[in-house]
Amino acid sequence: MFYISLFFSMIIFRFSLESQERLKNLSYKVMLGFLFLFSGFRFQVGCDWSNYLLQYEGYRFAEWTSIIPSFTEPFYIAILRLIYFLDLSFMWLNAVFAGIFFYGVNKLALRQKDPLAFLILLFPILILNMPMSGIRQGAAIGMMCIAFVAFMDRNFWRYILYTALAVGFHTSALIFFALLPFVKSQFSIKRLLLAILLSLPAAYFIYISSIGDILAIRYLDAEYEAAGAIYRLGSLLITSIIFFVFFQRKWKTFFPQEYGIVVLGFLIVIACFFMIPFSSTIADRLGYYFIPIQALFFARIPYIPNLKFKFLWTILPYALISIVFIGWISLSILYDICYDPYLNYITGVPSLEGIYGY
């Protein structure tokens, strides 16, 4: 109940500031700082906590040259080496990656009319699962948030730069190079076909390289499936349908800068949903990248001029995310193991933690 209470408190707080723009902007900054501390300085929270602790200890004495050729995410190793060089504890690995995630999220949030709503909508699914667990992909998502801003600004080289940085943290971001034909141009079926053709050589290269072997082991030959994929991608699919049925034309008229990335994002979401039977892990991993697009869309809805049923459309996003969040907490066999109880270095951790080398 701790996380549900926190999320509902955020929602109530946001609506209590409905007509107070200055307070909303100030509250966004405070909440951003709070969520960074909440995520970055957690203690024994997140399903990947022990995995990253083992990597932190395992790479400490490995030779730099022996790691890089065999690892597909070099920026992760580079940060590890920097932390070793500065003689920092494992706590700082999580803090650094949380910082990268929230740095990118902040860049995208500041482009919104309501950054506070945008941030709140990210909390239940994206923040709990990425900077609070899968920190490498969390950093990649942070970089892609900046790449999305570059896409909106039609800045071709900036988009390439931040997509490459994202790939350096997590190879799953490679898919976003396929969107290059759309950076300078509007969405069209011809450009969609061109993007698919351009992605084929990259896909073949990955297939024949050692990266392909690593990805196959990680996502195709895994002994487990992403059990929550159907719920997370289901919410994204519902959001996509709502956009294309009710809002696509309005979006093109009122928010043309964001139109391209939102359309492409939701088209890929639909493709990911139908990928679940073949690899729920791949579909789920890719889906996380589009949660910022979902939050962007939902946070913008109240600002569409002359919108009918505005109150309904304003509360619907929070209702949908809440249902998915409560369903995940209620049905997940990992929630109690990974997230409960919540502990934080700042507020104090058990005195026995020193035994384990934290």
In sequence order, what DSSP letters do the residues of 28-79 get, joined into one string? HHHHHHHHHHHHHTBSS-STTHHHHHHHHHHHTTS-HHHHGGG-S-HHHHHH
Bin 62: left if φ > 0, else alpha if -120 < ψ < 50, else beta: beta
| pTM for this predicted structure | 0.90
Q: What is the mean pLDDT of residues 329-357?
A: 76
Residue 278 — pLDDT band, cuts 50, 70, 90?
A: confident
Q: What is the pLDDT of residues 125-137, one digit of tens each?
A: 999 999 999 999 9
**Under a CB-based contact definition with an 8 Å cutoff, are residues 251 and 243 in contact?**
yes
CA-to-CA distance for 313 and 236, rounded, in angstroms?
16
Report the chain's terminal Cα–Cα distance, integer Å: 27
Q: Which long-range contacts (CB under 8 A, 24 or more apart) does 236-239 make?
A: 236/266, 236/269, 236/272, 236/273, 236/287, 236/290, 236/291, 236/294, 237/269, 237/270, 237/273, 238/320, 239/266, 239/269, 239/294, 239/297, 239/298, 239/320
pLDDT at residue number 112: 93
Q: Which comes out higher in pLDDT, residue 208 or 261?
A: 261
How many CB atoms neighbour CB 147 within 10 A? 30
Please state the φ and ψ torsions of residue 286, each to the nearest 5 degrees: -70, -35
pLDDT at residue number 350: 65
Quickly list DSSP for 108-164: HHTTSS-HHHHHHHHIIIIIHHTTTT-HHHHHHHHHHHHHHHHHHTT-HHHHHHHHH
pLDDT beyond 80 at 59: no
Output the six-digit token pair for 215: 């990805």
Q: Which positions ≥6 away from 115 have C-beta within 8 Å?
A: 25, 28, 109, 299
Residue type, 168: G
Highest mean pLDDT among 28-37, 168-177, 258-267: 28-37
